[in-house]
Amino acid sequence: FFFLGPSIDRKMWGIARRKNLGQALQKVLPAGSMTVREALNSALDEEMSADHSFLDGLESTRISKGLLEKYGPDRVLDTPITEAGFAGIGVGAAYYGLRPVVKFMIFNFSMQAIDHIINSAAKSNCMSVGQISVPIVFRGPNGANAGVDVQHSQCYAAWYAHPDPVVFLENELLYGESFPISAEVFDSSFCLPIGKAKIEREGKYVTITSFSKMVGHALQVDTFKGISAEVDDIVRAVKRACYRSILMAATT
Amino acid sequence: MAVLARSSSPSSLSKLLLRPHSFSSLRSFSSSAADDQRVLTIETSVPFTGHRIEPPSRAVDTTPAEILSFFRDMALMRRMEIAADSLYKAKLIRGFCHLYDGQEAVAVGMEAAITKRDGIITSYRDHCTFLGRGGTLLEAFAELMGRRDGCAKGKGGSMHFYRKEASYYGGHGIVGAQIPLGCGVAFAQKYSKDGSVTFALYGDGAANQGQLFEALNMAALLDLPAILVCENNHYGMGTAEWRAAKSPAYYKRGDYVPGLKVDGMDVLAVKQACIFAKEYALANGPIILEMDTYRYHGHSMSDPGSTYRTRDEISGVRQERDPIERVRKLILSHELASASELKDIEKEVRKEVDDAVAQAKECPMPDPSELFSNVYVKGFGAETFGPDRKEVRSVLP
């Protein structure tokens, strides 16, 4: 619902990516698969059409492609590069009852707004004993990226591992990659539960847990020194109830 | 002449608080003044000063009934804060306690200008604003003492009074955080087209925060109906305003956003300014109001308040600018009530506060299971533990 304006080098990098990956991929996409970027775009689109009060942030990359035209500038807002301000405004709108999606350019910048994410959003339901819940999603790329510096590469999964408010950590490098999906995903009311790990691949002796981009790397481990390995994708709830899944996997 | 002290209980009396338009319930004193709806026009003590805007007129329309309600409401707030002071010293209130006495005119004047659909969000100095939004004395004292009947079931404490049904969004502990939040509520009000505004109150200490300017910038870009109210009591914790701000003219700090400087000890001026600001904000976007006010207590109960200012200064303000005394003089000079009637109101208010304190003291503490309630909206069945992982355990629903 609020977006951080793009920096110049990001724009250029985005153009380079589009040239190399986006268009090429779009031509050869098999039916029944979509890129991460398209998945995000369609999820936002579905939720915005389902609930008229849902808001999003405009960005010049393709995740919000088409949403500004479809829902108008009242619902898709481009903001100045002031994280503390726009995150606070997003949380305030959620206090009233709207459902904003606040986008950080990358999660490193969320540190400028961390007071609003934690003190204003996460704690409000408890402090107000349920009077003010905060139905907000903070999203944006997190973690490793290609060739950017230390200040832009930190992973915040451990900082933000709670379901309320939802902090949705993406990975920039994956936006252009496509993955196969089943037909039911295209249904607009399809959703997945938060809090359960997904077993990507069954295995017998070793459990590898991971999330986001690292799941792809983990899946490439065919056998771990000859020991067949199970890979759990805990993307849906880092650190939360998936302890149970991990424990189950480790003890069987 | 006046018939006093209706037999209703303290809590219902306090429910009559701050409803200047339901004067018939205030029959307890001078019945002619209490019902008197004739319009009086009274001048504010000092004219308004505007920044990039034509200030409103000094002449404020009011009624005798409204003025009497101002007196009663401010006296109630003053009593409540003094009682909170004693409770804190008796160690019945723990933690933080930031008192508002001296600043009552801001809360009362603002309520007179707006409806319960207009939002208010403020800092930790929130007890009186809560009362203004319709909170009861019992809820306030019980919350301060951490009891179950408090407005946040004892879990919020002094700094976290909420009343969502009256559009009161708290009670915030982080200095300055309430300003972007208030602009967000204003965004949502504009989005929902409900014709209301939000007042985001902050102090001179918070006026230098970066997030204020970030939020103001966005509010101005989007023409949000947000009114930023700086309650300038001239001291940010222990730092005088001239040592904290290069430009202590807080009403001008919005630069491109217009501002108004108001005598915050004059309840009629506050009312006039808030009416003016609401009209402006609905049509044009954000505006800043600077209320020139003063707090008699220190920043919080752990601050004596006299290490950075002189006792003469404090007593000087009390003698010359006290908001309740100003209204008392107004009532007496316009002969709306007699001095003894006003004294009787104060006695009544005192009794009401004492009764509420006694009732709050009887309230039980929250059940230990409350440690685990409302932590998340949906807990997904996660297990939680206390630090020893043995005794205190629960499953979040």
- In contact, B356 and B87? CB cutoff 8 Å: no
Residue A15 or residue B180, greater confidence? B180
Structure-model confidence comparison of residues A142 and B46, the more confident one? B46
Cβ neighbours of residue B143 under 8 Å, at least 6 residues apart?
B150, B151, B152, B154, B156, B157, B158, B161
Mean pLDDT calculated for residue range B163-180: 94
Dist CA B154 CA B341 (whole Å) = 37
Identify the pLDDT of residue B170: 87
Confidence of residue B324 (pLDDT cuts 50, 70, 90): very high
Amino acid at A153: S
Q: Is 70 exceeded by the pLDDT of residue B250?
A: yes
pLDDT of B96 over the 80 cut:
yes
Q: H-helix or E-strand containing B393? A: strand B393-395
For residues B303 and A245, the model is more confident at: B303
Q: Which residue type, as a one-letter code, is found at position B94?
A: R
Average pLDDT over residues B156-182: 94
First to last CA, chain A: 44
> How far is Cα B321 from Cα B46, in angstroms, rounded to an integer?
12
DSSP structure string for B361-391: HHSPPPPGGGGGTTSSS--TT-EEE-TTSSS
When mean pLDDT is compared over A153-157, B124-128, B234-238, the highest value belongs to B124-128
How far apart (Å, rounded) are the C-alpha atoms in residues A151 and B203? 34
Beta carbons of B80 and B140 less than 8 angstroms apart: yes
Q: What is the pTM of this model?
A: 0.81
Q: What is the pLDDT of residue B32?
A: 65
- The answer on pLDDT for B283 being more than 60 is yes
CB B386 within 8 A of CB B395: no
How many Å apart are CA B248 and CA B243, to the nearest integer? 9
The residues of chain A scoring below 50 in pLDDT are 1-30, 56-60, 236-241
A116 class by beta-carbon count within 10 Å (0-12 exposed, 13-18 middle, 19+ buried): buried
Using an 8 Å CB-CB cutoff, list chain A residues near B380.
Answer: 163, 194-195, 237, 240-241
pLDDT of residue A174: 67
B356 contacts B137 by C-beta, under 8 angstroms: yes
Q: Are strands A137-141 and A101-103 parallel, antiparallel or unpaired?
A: parallel
Write out the two tokens for B171: 């009670």
Distance CA B126, CA B119 (A): 14
CA distance A213 to A235: 10
Q: Which residue has the higher pLDDT, B146 or B37?
A: B146
Tell whether the model's pLDDT for residue B329 goes beyond 90: yes
How confident is residue B281, by pLDDT bands cut at 50, 70 and 90? Answer: very high
Quick one: pLDDT at residue B39? 92
Residue B100 confidence (pLDDT) above 60: yes
Min Cα distance B170 → chain A (Å) is 8
Q: Which of B218, B257, B395 to mutate to test the interface with A (most CBs of A within 10 A)?
A: B218
Chain A, chain B: beta-carbon pairs less than 8 Å apart: 149
Cα four-point dihedral sign B133, B136, B140, B146 = negative
**Cβ count near B245 (within 10 Å):** 18
* Region B133-159 average pLDDT: 94
**Mean of the per-residue pLDDT values of chain B:** 90
Which residues 95-134 of chain B have a CB within 8 Å of chain A? 119, 121
Question: Is some CB atom of chain A closer than 8 A to the CB atom of B150?
Answer: no
Which residue of chain B comes nearest to A80, CA vs CA?
B218
What percent of chain B has a predicted confidence (pLDDT) above 90? 79
Report the distance separating Cα A95 and Cα A105, nearest Å. 23
SS3 state of residue A23: helix
- What pLDDT is attached to residue B107? 97
Find the mean pLDDT for residues B104-117: 97
Is A125 close to B381, i.e. CB distance below 8 A? Answer: no
Interface test with A, best of B165, B185, B208, B369 (most A CBs within 10 A): B185
User: B359 φ, ψ to 5°?
Assistant: -65, -40
Selected for mutation to probe chain A from B151, B208, B370, B374 (highest A CB count within 10 Å) is B374
Q: Which residue of B has its CA nearest to A84?
A: B211
How many Cα atoms sit within 13 Å of B125 on the Cβ side? Answer: 32
Length of chain B, please? Answer: 397
The answer, yes or no, to whether residue B273 has pLDDT greater than 60, is: yes
Q: Do A129 and B171 touch (CB under 8 A)?
A: no
Nearest CA in chain B to A114: B177
How many whole angstroms separate alpha carbon B92 and alpha carbon A115? 30
Residue of A92, A115, A133 with shortest CB distance to B187: A92
Contact A1, A55 (CB under 8 A): yes
pLDDT-derived band at B326, boundaries 50, 70, 90: very high
Q: Which of B92, B74, B203 has the alpha carbon at shortest distance from B131? A: B74
More confident residue, A80 or B179: B179
Residue B155 sits at the chain A interface (C-beta within 8 Å):
yes
- Please give the residue that has the higher pLDDT: either B221 or B374: B221
Residue indicated by tokens 């001296």: B102
- Which member of B162, B217, B378 has the closest CB to residue A85? B217
User: Cβ of B52 under 8 Å from any chain A Cβ?
Assistant: no
CA distance B320 to chain A (A): 39
- Asked if A36 and A63 touch (Cβ cutoff 8 Å), the reply is no
SS3 B199: strand
- How are the residues of chain B apportioned to helix, strand and coil, as percentages rounded to the nearest 5? 45, 15, 45
Task: Mean pLDDT check: name the lowest of A208-222, B180-194, B229-243, B256-270.
Answer: A208-222
Cβ of residue B210 closer than 8 Å to a chain A Cβ: yes
From B121's Cα to the closest Cα of chain A, the distance in A is 10
B248 touches chain A (CB under 8 A): no
Least confident of A178-192, B93-107, B206-220, B224-238: A178-192
Decide if pLDDT at B211 tops 50. Answer: yes
Among the partner-chain residues A86, A125, A194, the one whose CB lies closest to the CB of B218 is: A86
Q: Do B380 and A241 touch (CB under 8 A)?
A: yes
Return the closest-CA partner of residue B79 out of B98, B99, B94: B99
- Direct distance between the N- and C-terminal alpha carbons of chain B, in angstroms, rounded to an integer: 60
Closest CB to A119 among B119, B174, B373? B174
Reduced to 3 states (helix: H, G, I; strand: E, B; else coil), residue B121 is strand
